[in-house]
Chain A
């Protein structure tokens, strides 16, 4: 079955530093979604990427989908304390989401 790997598992940064998390799938993805989960909270949808090589931006967040549609990345510029949480990528197949293990981001003020 489909497997989605995500690295790093943990990332500690000083406020103002950049942050990147990477996602790799064992199979070609029809699309990839990114979610954020705050400590004690539930996953919240951030974005969906569908096209090969697609790049989307949301303020300080930049999302990329690889040319082969097997990998993706999320980059945050100049992190803020409000960015803390776990960031998950998820491959979608006939409705079902296969999540990566997530990257836990800690931002030190």
Chain B
């Protein structure tokens, strides 16, 4: 039973380019969460999605960041016109329900902006 999959694992972008991060939840999970982690810091909630719906985007920066979870395919976190401050580890997690239970984390995407 495959866990949460994220790709790419490492991504290098120049300032001004776009970054696309993908997340495939565990089989049977329809709830996806994205978190950002700066070096030696905790994880910060960004967005919570169900299939085709954004449930909570209170942690998303107002500009340049967007997320989707289409009916078919992985969830995508998109960062337009990246800046050096976007360099971080981005983790995706999934759960089978919204009831506050365990979240299963993927291996993360380490984004470096040069």
Contacts and interface: CB of A to CB of B under 8 A. Distances in A.
Interface string A1-42: 100001000000000000000000000001101010000011
Contacts of B108: 42
Interface of B: 31, 33, 35, 40-45, 48, 55-56, 58-59, 91, 93, 95, 98-108
A98 B45 contact: yes
Contacts of A42: 91, 105-108
Q: A-B pairs with the 3 shortest C-beta distances?
A: A92-B100, A99-B42, A42-B105
Range of interface residues on A (Cβ < 8 Å): 20 to 34
B76 to A, nearest CB: 19
A95 B48 contact: yes
A48 B55 CA distance: 23
Interface of A: 1, 6, 30-31, 33, 35, 41-45, 48, 88, 90, 92-102, 104
Nearest to B41: A101
Nearest to B46: A96
Contact of A101 (B42, B56, B98): B42
B56 A88 contact: no
A45 B42 contact: no
